[in-house]
Amino acid sequence: MAKEKIVYVCKNCSYQSSSFLGKCPECGAWGTFEELVNTNTTSSKKNVEKQGFKLPKPISNINYSENIRLNVEDKELNRVLGGGLVVGSVVLIGGEPGIGKSTLLLQIALKIKNRTVLYVSGEESEEQIKLRQLRMKESSDSCLVLAETNIENILSASDEVNPSIIIIDSIQTITTSEIENYAGSITQVRTCADKLIDYAKNKNIPIILVGHITKDGMLAGPKILEHMVDTVLQFEGDKNYGYRILRSIKNRFGSTNEIGIYEMTSFGLQCVENPSKVLLSQREEELSGVAICATVEGKRTILIETQALVSPTYYSSPQRISNGFDIRRMNMLLAVLEKKAGVKVSNKDVFLNIAGGLRVNDPAIDLSIIASIISSHQDTPIDKKYCFAAEVGLSGEIRPIPYVDRRVNEAAAMGFKKIFLSKYNKDNLQEKIKNIESVFISSINDLVETIIK
Ligand code: TYD
Ligand code: MG
């Protein structure tokens, strides 16, 4: 019998060590090491591969089929995947508990009517899944449900029904009888994922895995899971708001800039087709501390509201709280504002919020954040027909951003009359867009002068 080899793996960064360590020398995390048993199956697999090796061939001789992407009947998910689910690929969807992963996947299983979809749940019973289906008011005869946690049983059941897509909810609950570790341990997760990836490639069908996220936002279980699969999507959003964002973190078959936006309703997740419309609050009066930014996420342009509250502090060090925007970047923008525009914020508490519970990575949001902070600081509202899109540099300069045409067009379509851009973007604006005036500025001082009436 081949000897079992044990290594210890850091769950945080997948660093491997031959002995157990309290602190990871690679990423510095404490208590993240877990035993990983390299089972005999992997070594015997290597031998088989050695005996029946394949000869490399010229890339031009490789056959491929045009129809390698399956339509998942969900506009948002199709877009985030890069145009559909690639056959033979494995997709991992991560997200906090209760964010809506099971809802999204059962919904897709029900919407794909012309193909057999096998929905395997290790977390819920058949009755619970049935109740969820009734809630969604969607039904399908080609959606097969299996409440099972043993990988060997799952794959045998799959061999019987020959599905076109398999959904596993969740990978942390699935175990193999080959090893004795508990469900969710690194060894179990890795071995089961390995088997599923092999199965997907051999049968040429896509598999979607659900992965849980720990409190600090990491995919629970080994980081190596992210390296093993083809695509990693993250489902996020503030549970108190109805909106959910599906973000692509890794995609071997598409762009990673794409996002999908959903709204959680009483009958499942609905695709949000015009996000700008729903994300801008329908306010009649002008409020101080509110500014609108034209952001670009993948193929879409979205108008988002940034809100700031600046108030005198009663503490020795002022409070800085940010929702949906990187707090270090907010501190940097505050320092720039104080030093370059003379807006004194060092003795003020600053609270920042991106409306709708979204998280924005587009640097073009800087100018809108600065504008909302100035507006709240001076307690003067910004004209509600104004919109912003530019990055702010460390010396207070307004920096250019890509896709200006798209941003200006979207702002005009949503009825905005003025958009503030960097002067370096002037030449990028291809055409004169009707009904909106583009204001090109070069420093935050220009902004303070123009927006405060
Ligand atoms: P769920 O899909 O179970 O989350 P996850 O699998 O990520 O843990 O989503 C659970 C939440 O969604 C729960 O709080 C109830 C809510 N929900 C709705 O609001 N409407 C619905 O139609 C469904 C099915 C769930
Ligand atoms: Mg679930």
Containing domain of residue 4, as a range? 1-44
Whichever domain contains 253, its CATH number is 3.40.50.300
Residue located nearest, by CA, to atom 1 of ligand 1? 100
235 and 283 in one domain? no
The closest ligand to the CA of 132 turns out to be 1
- In terms of pLDDT, which residue wins out, 450 or 86? 86
199 and 175 in one domain? yes
For ligand 2, the distance from its centroid to the CA atom of residue 98, given in whole angstroms, is: 7
Residue 51 lies in a domain: no
Enter the pTM of the model. Answer: 0.79
Residue located nearest, by CA, to atom 9 of ligand 1? 100
Residue 56 lies in a domain: no
For ligand 1, the distance from its centroid to the CA atom of residue 241, given in whole angstroms, is: 13
Is residue 127 predicted with pLDDT exceeding 90?
A: yes
Q: In angstroms, rounded to a whole number, what is the distance separating the alpha carbons of residues 397 and 447?
A: 11
Pocket probe mutation, ligand 1, options 103, 135, 172, max atoms within 8 Å of Cβ: 103
Main-chain dihedrals φ then ψ at residue 340, nearest 5 degrees:
-95, -25
Question: pLDDT tens-digit profile of 44-59?
Answer: 455 555 567 888 889 9
Residue 75 lies in a domain: yes
**Pocket of ligand 1 contains residue 177 by CB under 6 Å:** no
Residue 349 lies in a domain: yes
Is residue 13 predicted with pLDDT exceeding 90?
A: no
85 and 36 in one domain? no
**Pocket of ligand 1 contains residue 172 by CB under 6 Å:** no
Q: What percent of the chain has pLDDT over 90?
A: 53
Residue located nearest, by CA, to atom 11 of ligand 1? 98
223 and 244 in one domain? yes
Question: pLDDT tens-digit profile of 177-193?
Answer: 988 878 878 888 989 99
161 and 117 in one domain? yes
**Pocket of ligand 1 contains residue 102 by CB under 6 Å:** yes
Pairing assessment for the beta strands 268-271 and 259-265 based on DSSP bridges: antiparallel
197 and 104 in one domain? yes
Is residue 73 predicted with pLDDT exceeding 70?
A: yes
Per-residue confidence band for 14, with pLDDT thresholds at 50, 70 and 90? confident
220 and 318 in one domain? no
**Pocket of ligand 1 contains residue 267 by CB under 6 Å:** yes
Check residue 428 and give its pLDDT.
81
75 and 101 in one domain? yes
For ligand 1, the distance from its centroid to the CA atom of residue 151, given in whole angstroms, is: 25
72 and 27 in one domain? no
**Pocket of ligand 1 contains residue 195 by CB under 6 Å:** no
CA angle 166, 171, 174 (to 5 degrees): 95
411 and 301 in one domain? yes
Question: pLDDT tens-digit profile of 246-296?
Answer: 988 899 988 877 888 899 999 999 998 888 877 776 667 788 999 999 999
For ligand 1, the distance from its centroid to the CA atom of residue 124, given in whole angstroms, is: 13
Domain boundary among 221, 250, 271: 271
Check residue 43 and give its pLDDT.
47
Residue 52 lies in a domain: no
351: Cα separation from own chain's centroid: 24
82 and 40 in one domain? no
297 and 209 in one domain? no
Residue 53 lies in a domain: no
**Pocket of ligand 1 contains residue 232 by CB under 6 Å:** no
Question: pLDDT tens-digit profile of 155-174?
Answer: 999 999 999 999 999 899 99
Residue 60 lies in a domain: no
